[in-house]
A and B are shown apart, each in its own frame.
Chain A
Amino acid sequence: MDNIAGKKSSLTWVLHLSVLALVLLWIFPTVGLLVSSFRTTDQIRSSGWWAALFPAVQNETLRSADPDESRVLRDDGLYMVSGNLYVVDGAVDTPEDVVAEISVWGTSSRNIDAYVPGDTADLGDGETMTVEANGDYVWIGNDAQISGRGQRVFVTAESPPEFTLQNYRNVLFDPDNREGMTRAFFNTLTVTIPATIIPILIAAFAAYALAWMEFPGRALLIAAIVALLVVPLQLALIPLLSLHNSIGIGKGYLGVWLAHTGFGLPLAIYLLRNYMVGLPRDIIECAKVDGATDFQIFTKIILPLSFPALASFAIFQFLWTWNDLLVAMVFLIDSSGETTVMTRQIVELLGTRGGDWEILATSAFVSIAVPLVVFFTMQRYLVRGLLAGSVK
């Protein structure tokens, strides 16, 4: 449209770049969390997550094997220790596994870049040390020199980006981990599924009545639904908690399901009514002429046709109940903590493990992974629901 007058806008590439910048800015925070969840504790502590995307240059102090145990006597009367610095360090099992590449090394802390790989360092009185790029070393000297502790080697090495699944193993599959997310994950699922399914049917019947049945007070009821859409659920906390306590539900799953059902209904009725009103009048009147009852019209015609709206609401309610913290804290989680949900667990971890980003990032990602999958697979319905649900 902008180039309708025959000239292609010269700003096109600026447009593309600014969109790219905006998108990068928006996904940057989430990418940070995702990358962090795949890094080891040491990596997270020693550098920012953005450094993980590039080869890391690290200064390390390594040590050769204990000479008293592993030295061998050579034909020329000198002793020799050989092996791989990284294997001795325990970083890898065999020299073939070494991924780091040593760029410079030294044997004194004051001169850590004295030699390049392949050089032979003269340690005085005929004692020598040779280090290769992959950490293989040969250390030669006389009986007195090759004894005591292993020779220290200061290396500067470049290692390629490295990621680990260990954090996920700890957070999800370690049965001994009291702070693990497995239980909270299943608790969240237990809250979410009934809280998503139950309101749909109740709302669908009401929406049908409000859309296609004539009765006095209908307009007033619709206005009331629109009003209830914005009533802050904060108002409901204490009255409903007292109510639950007095009728014996107390804190628990039943209470949280009922609460989510109640809080989700205005949006559900509103969305579904708006959709059902738009269905063609002919179909319904034809069915009535053919003798169908309202109940039959609803179950056989309206419900199947309303599938897109039902899906929209289901996604909304799913995201909302999955991500909810307040309702779960008030109506579900008791002092035993057995029924904690993921959001609550993460808030607790923020308090107790504030600096341990490998745990925090992994736990947070476990909790946002499911909504993200739902989001990307069902985005169409979500957008449609948003467009129908905003009061125009």
Chain B
Amino acid sequence: MNPALQGLVTIIVGVGGCVAYFYFSNQILDKVLFPPRGPNAGRNINRAEAIRPWLFLFPAMAALGLYLAYPVFETIRLSVTDRDLGGAFVGGANYAQMFQEDKFWEAVRNNLLWLLVVPAMATAFGLLAAQLTDRIGWGNIAKSLIFMPMAISFVGAAVIFKLIYDARPEDVAQIGVLNAIYLQLGGDSPITWLTVPFWNNFFLMIVLIWIQTGFAMVILSAALRGIPEETVEAAIVDGANPFQIFFKIKVPQIAGTIVVVWTTITIVVLKVFDIVFAMTNGQWETQVLANYMYDKLFRSNDWGVGSASAMIIMLMVTPILVWNVYNARKEMR
């Protein structure tokens, strides 16, 4: 079947199916199972009301259970079994094997580097942009331009930055901006930036910082707007200079939001895959966990080690997961 037609059919079946499910399940509940009339009308209404939420929730719960909750447990199971041995339990063998690989430790080191640098830089730039654009006339235009990279795919951004890092032989004109500037500033010969071990990680991080700064800016900008004016006025009356106002009055008041931005970007960083995959594919010591995992799962076909590395990512996400749940529950009370 033509994919476009298949898509149309899927939309109709999906949306129509949803509507039909909700409509008829409610009808059956009200008209057939527990009709609100006859001798048990009152009891029937109560029963129907107790069941109805689950009718509303069922499709979402089923999809979430199948597509997110079940895989977590299945991945745990896969990480302690060996597929070549017919799925036999092997305990920590996959983990032990993974811990012996240099590539794994390289990926862990790089992921930690990413974790240190990207959320900090993106939040800092976001805060800077939010503060600077806060009170100028064309602030909204400036914000929307800084925000724009959010819409660009990681792959698109990879192409954009590969053009910036491009290196040509010494005797022809450089078409990569970075090398052009480098030579202009007195560099000897063009550098292939993405192949310089250790530092190339930072050239990859710049891509994500570039994308995430807009996100940080939008959230922090809203937080800055929410600061009570009186606090700032009082500081000015007391003779505080703009820097003091910013660091001692404004930043402490939006500290909670800064943490939120920081943790959200941290999650993005932990899952970062496309950028590394498209730009270096983990060569020249730029491996990260998500790409390592993809390598193991789909190139080496080693489900055991691949799942084990996925569990490492899950493990690193868990503190933030717990923190988010804790905060969400606190807020609901």
Contacts and interface: CB of A to CB of B under 8 A. Distances in A.
A326 interface: yes
Contacts of A28: 177
Nearest to A391: B324
Given A19-B136, A30-B160, A208 B56 contact: yes
B68 A347 contact: no
A29 B209 CA distance: 13
A367 B177 contact: no
A227 B321 contact: yes
A134 interface: no
Interface centre among B64, B69, B215, B218, by most chain A C-beta atoms within 10 angstroms, is B64
A48 B174 contact: yes
Given A19-B133, A45-B175, A233 B271 contact: yes
Interface string A374-392: 1110010011001100111
Contact of A15 (B132, B155, B177): B132
A227 B320 CA distance: 9
Given A47-B173, A390-B260, A262 B66 contact: yes
Contacts of B197: none
A235 interface: yes
A203 B218 contact: no
A368 B152 contact: yes
B22 A32 contact: no
Given A32-B177, A209-B53, A4 B233 contact: yes
Nearest to A360: B159
Q: What band does the interface of chain B fall in when counting residues whose beta carbon is under 8 Å from A? A: 35 or more
B253 interface: no
B73 to A, nearest CB: 9
Given A234-B310, A235-B71, A326-B273, A197 B162 contact: no
Contact of A361 (B22, B56, B163, B256): B163
B190 interface: no
Identify the interface centre among A4, A187, A201: most chain B CB within 10 Å of its CB: A201
Interface string B22-44: 11001000100000000000000
Interface string B266-306: 01001101100111000000000010011001100001001
B175 A44 contact: yes
A322 B144 CA distance: 20
Contacts of B222: 387
A84 interface: no
A273 B256 CA distance: 22
A312 interface: no
Interface stretch (A65-73, A155-163, A236-244): A236-244
B247 to A, nearest CB: 14
B185 interface: no
Given A194-B7, A235-B314, A325-B153, A49 B175 contact: yes
Given A4-B233, A206-B57, A239-B74, A368 B135 contact: no
Nearest to A365: B156
B314 A231 contact: yes
Contacts of B142: 19-20, 22-23
A269 interface: yes
Contact of B11 (A1, A194, A209): A194
Shortest Cβ-Cβ A-B pairs, 8 listed: A262-B67, A323-B153, A206-B60, A375-B151, A239-B74, A209-B56, A236-B71, A364-B159
Interface of B: 3-4, 6-7, 10-11, 14-15, 18-19, 22-23, 26, 30, 50, 52-54, 56-57, 59-61, 63-64, 66-72, 74-75, 78, 128-129, 132-133, 135-136, 139, 142, 144-164, 166, 172-177, 180, 210, 213-215, 218-219, 222, 229, 232-233, 236-237, 242, 245, 256-257, 260-261, 263-264, 267, 270-271, 273-274, 277-279, 290, 293-294, 297-298, 303, 306-307, 310-311, 313-314, 317, 320-321, 324-325, 327-329, 331-332
26 contacts: A2-B242, A11-B242, A19-B139, A23-B146, A46-B172, A46-B173, A201-B18, A205-B18, A206-B59, A209-B54, A209-B56, A221-B61, A223-B329, A227-B325, A230-B324, A235-B72, A235-B75, A236-B71, A259-B67, A261-B67, A266-B64, A319-B151, A326-B294, A367-B155, A372-B148, A391-B263
